[in-house]
Chains A and B, each alone.
Chain A
Amino acid sequence: MSKFNITIEIMPIDSVLDPQGEAIELTLKNNSKYLAANFRVGKRIEFTLESKNKTSCRNTVNDLCEKFLVNEIIEKYKIKIENEKN
């Protein structure tokens, strides 16, 4: 078994209104110093997982996302898997 470091980035899907992103954008519109736009606010989850290999690790993480960590009606996600560095 190997130990992997997992990072999941979760974002609202494009068709979902993101009021947090809108609030940030609205605030910055009042400040002409920045030309920043199209804000979307998501979350990042980090954890470790023991698994046979990277493929089985990815399958487990996908399962975990679909069943618990992500609600795919409103969210999309990206998984990053790295071997744990000692």
Chain B
Amino acid sequence: MRKINFGVIQFPGSNCEQDCFYVVKHILKQNCSYIWHDSKSLKNLDCIIVPGGFSYGDYLRTGAIAAQSNISSKIKDFAHNGGVVIGICNGFQILTELKLLPGVLLRNKSLNFICKDVNLKVTNSNSIFTSEYSHNEILKIPIAHAEGNFFLNKSEVSEVKKFNQIIFQYVNSKGLCDIDSNPNGSIMNIAGIRNKKGNVLGLMPHPERVSENLLGGLDGKKIFQSIIKQLS
């Protein structure tokens, strides 16, 4: 099986890029490189990871300034040409500001920064990012954010349902989507969503933090394994 070429984008203020790099390069034994935000090209990548953090201090709106940087227009072209892109936490916020994904991430309903494990349901296992999971599988993955309250306007709500774009939802331990298991006020308990074409995913939880047993779980690893399988 050929090795997949991953690229992890680094913005000023990114802080989860080393975790992503470590999982891809050292746990999953793939090729991986860092891409600085000012880079003129993306080299020959198969998959781009836009990591978590606080790019540009979260000024203006989360992800808004990163979305204007040199590399972001390259990410947009890459995605429009069918390249696989995954945005985690702040990466998700950046991808919505780039309009590669629908919606916006607002301040958490409670206004608190929330850092804890949450239960997630794999709502759609028929995707590039979730093919290694079973349908409705329940996962435990940590979140760590202040702006994770996913918002869609009315027309976007019907669109994302129609095109099966909802990939992960916050649930209780029995797999039920209820208010109590929604940590941030996200519409329809959405934790992760893909674009219509299916090659771009954004999610608030951090799969890179649960990709080896030493760190408390493996529930996030299959996202990266799914991508590798699809691209091999």
Contacts and interface: CB of A to CB of B under 8 A. Distances in A.
Contact of A23 (B103, B111, B156): B111
B56 to A, nearest CB: 12
B144 interface: no
Give the interface residue-count category, chain B: 10 to 19
A20 B61 contact: no
Given A16-B151, A68-B64, A73 B103 contact: yes
A69 B107 contact: no
Contacts of B68: 68
B46 interface: no
A75 B156 CA distance: 16
B185 A17 contact: yes
Contacts of A69: 60
B63 to A, nearest CB: 10
A12 B64 CA distance: 16
B219 interface: no
A20 B111 CA distance: 7
B107 A74 contact: no
Please tell me the size bucket of the interface on A. 10 to 19
A55 to B, nearest CB: 26
Given A16-B106, A17-B106, A17-B185, A71 B61 contact: yes
B104 interface: yes
A77 to B, nearest CB: 13
Interface centre among A23, A69, A71 (most CB of B within 10 A): A71
B64 A74 contact: no
A23 B107 CA distance: 13
B97 A17 contact: no
Given A71-B97, A73-B151, A74-B151, A19 B109 contact: yes
Interface in B146-183: 149, 151-153, 156
A71 B104 contact: yes
B110 interface: yes
Contacts of B61: 71
A16 B104 CA distance: 11
Contacts of A17: 106, 109, 149, 185
Given A19-B111, A73-B103, 4 more contacts: A19-B109, A71-B64, A73-B156, A74-B104
Interface of A: 15-17, 19-20, 23, 68-69, 71, 73-74
